[in-house]
Amino acid sequence: MAKISKTAAKERIELLKKELERHNHNYYVLNSPTISDFEFDLLMSELQTLEKIFPEFAMADSPTQHVGSDLNAAGTLEFVQIPHRYPMLSLSNTYSHEEMAEFCNRLEKTTSRKATYSCELKFDGTAICLTYRKGKLVHALTRGDGTKGDDVSRNVVNIRTIPTVLKGSDIPDEFEIRGEIYMPFEAFERLNAEKADKGEEPFANPRNAASGSLKLQNPEEMKERGLDCVLYHILGENLPFTTHSEAITAARSWGLPTSEYSEIAQSVDEVLAYIEKWDTLRKGLPFATDGIVIKVNELDLQRQLGMTAKSPRWATAYKFKPEQALTPLLSVDYQVGRTGAITPVANLEPVPLSGTIVKRASLHNLDQMQLLDIHIGDYVYVEKGGEIIPKITGVELSRRPADAALPDFPALCPDCGTPLERDEDEAKHYCPNSNGCPTQIKGRFIHFISRKAMDILAGDATIEQLYDKGLIRKLQDLYSLTKEQLLTLEGWQEKSADNFLQSIGKSKSVPFARVLFALGIRHIGEQNAKMLASHYGSLDALMDSPREELLQIDGIGDVMADSIISFFDDIENLATVEKLRDNGLQMAIEESGTSRLSDRLAGATVVVSGNFSISREEMKALVEAHGGKNSGSVSGRTTYLLAGEKSGPEKMKKAASLGVKVISEDEFYSIIKG
């Protein structure tokens, strides 16, 4: 580092502290980092160096002295914060083989003993700490600020690989096991496709998706996210293990998910060989990994080496440098989504990156463009977020052409010319002309006909063709199409027209929950639509619901409630709903096909939660068959909370606070049998 004056050092240290805290907040709390791990680590390294040179400016509140925090701000989300029994620290890291070798050599000099090393893949997810007592899961905490974490037990129990009850013998009375919640690439791609379909901002990488999913308010929605878990560190009093690898082998025998890729290295050379091997092989893994974790295997040596305020001295992480490409930015397009969101997309000189040719990369929004200070003609650095999504991470200013110009972010919608708007709380600009903007209209049709909505046999090209010919403008127009009209269009034959019209006819029997999803209410996804349909039972009841009642439903926050109210305040939307109703679409949950068996639940309102010996839908049908009414949330009007295995903790807590009787599946059968 070049010589720097004390005054300049103090100013630089303060600037670095503010920047690192901001990036920590973006990463841990917002799940929306704006710089890469590598860039973050460079800033942290600079701060550490300056604090060593000028120790008088090294304060206890420095990011070098504590881990980033993922704790929710008070009053934002309903997660209870619980102290960690043992501090949950972060790891030091390096990007250099030489520094890794120095780390191993330094440890052996400190302990005067030859150590062995556990070499493990560093899964790119979000940290979790599970506590088991008497073989049963007590709670699951996030890293939080290292001293306390958010209790996310109600969501963690919905991850299939995490057991609530352990199996086997010799299980300690109580212990903690820590690891990583992660999202495999397949689940990540599916989730982002669904978000794109709803016009929502996709997650930048699987790590952000995993962290965001773990903090969902609705456990049922979290269950659909496809999260997985790997556990790699056991803590407790008087545990009967002498090595780390022995402890992990025992955890695996109890049914806990551990990594199959770990190896024990006998020397520094074997550690470096493991790193070399996985720097190549990781590209074929079904999940994201951003490095290798090296731990001293002997537990007595771990205790001897101890901890710093921020990290253990007996472990470190070797981080893989992200693969980058440098290529010119040719132009920027502005795409209009189904909900009117405007997304800038960079057109690049084609460049190979991580096994594919990258031509385009999302710039997300105007704020991101300004942060990058991006100009047309710039040479830009491109990385793949989680090895999947191309992302521009920086500009090579030394190669900026003299005539490079700032891209003009549009003031008007690129499609219909309507002035764009921007909500104060959102980064995106929107076209408010939802009923007149051609791209938004076609996007609504594409969403409406999709498999998870009305499941009509058509695709984007069909919608484009029907729109261009003036045959569709409103959703209800699909139900007025005739075979004669279709046969006048290019490429249509008798059979294709018949199949298309038959699928439109079948869509009239699609259940109400899917119809609600198909309407395309902004921010209301498939799972939210199911929840609202179950809670209200009909579209009329939902339309008549006041905002305060919407906010009482688990998983419905201010943004969703306002979106629902706004949708049904729109006269054109109401007209569309009535036309769809006239065409025979299901606007209410159909009465159960089960015949009335008794009146033993007459007047009773039942909330069904958890897993049972039969499906939840069958259980709800039994409630109705015996005269009861199903509800999606616990309230003062609830008669019973029918709780199965893995019943929602929040529903249980609310039932207890309201004095609602909680019954098991066996008790339920006793009631309906009289």
Active site residues: 122
Phi-psi bin for 242: left (phi > 0), alpha (psi -120 to 50), beta?
alpha
Cα–Cα distance measured from residue 261 to residue 650, given in angstroms and rounded to the nearest whole number? 37
Q: 292 in helix, strand or coil?
A: strand
CB 585 within 8 A of CB 510: yes
Buried b (16+ CB within 10 A) or exposed e, 350-371: ebebbeeebeebbbbbbebbee
Which long-range contacts does 71-74 make (Cβ < 8 Å, 24+ apart)?
71/29, 71/142, 71/144, 71/145, 71/148, 71/149, 71/150, 72/29, 72/150, 72/215, 73/29
Of 149, 157, 143, the closest CA to residue 222 belongs to 157
Cα–Cα distance measured from residue 468 to residue 628, given in angstroms and rounded to the nearest whole number? 50
Alpha-carbon distances, residue 316 vs 93, 229, 297, 554 (angstroms): 5, 21, 13, 41
Phi and psi at residue 233, to the nearest 5°: -155, 125
Amino acid at 106: R
CB 567 within 8 A of CB 573: yes
Pairing type for strands 421-422 and 429-430 reads antiparallel
Phi-psi bin for 356: left (phi > 0), alpha (psi -120 to 50), beta?
beta
CB 328 within 8 A of CB 381: no
Token pair listed for 13: 């240290």
The residue ranges of DSSP E strands in 282-414, in sequence order, are: 289-296, 315-319, 325-336, 341-353, 356-362, 379-385, 389-395
Cα–Cα distance measured from residue 314 to residue 294, given in angstroms and rounded to the nearest whole number? 8
CB 41 within 8 A of CB 95: yes
Alpha-carbon distances, residue 69 vs 63, 266, 390 (angstroms): 11, 35, 27
CB 316 within 8 A of CB 90: no
Residue with tokens 């070499």, as numbered in its chain: 119
Of 48, 54, 1, the closest CA to residue 20 belongs to 48
Q: How distant is the alpha carbon of residue 251 from its chain centre?
A: 27
> Which residues make Cβ contacts (< 8 Å) with residue 238, sequence separation at least 6?
none
CB 560 within 8 A of CB 549: no
Phi and psi at residue 200, to the nearest 5°: -95, 160
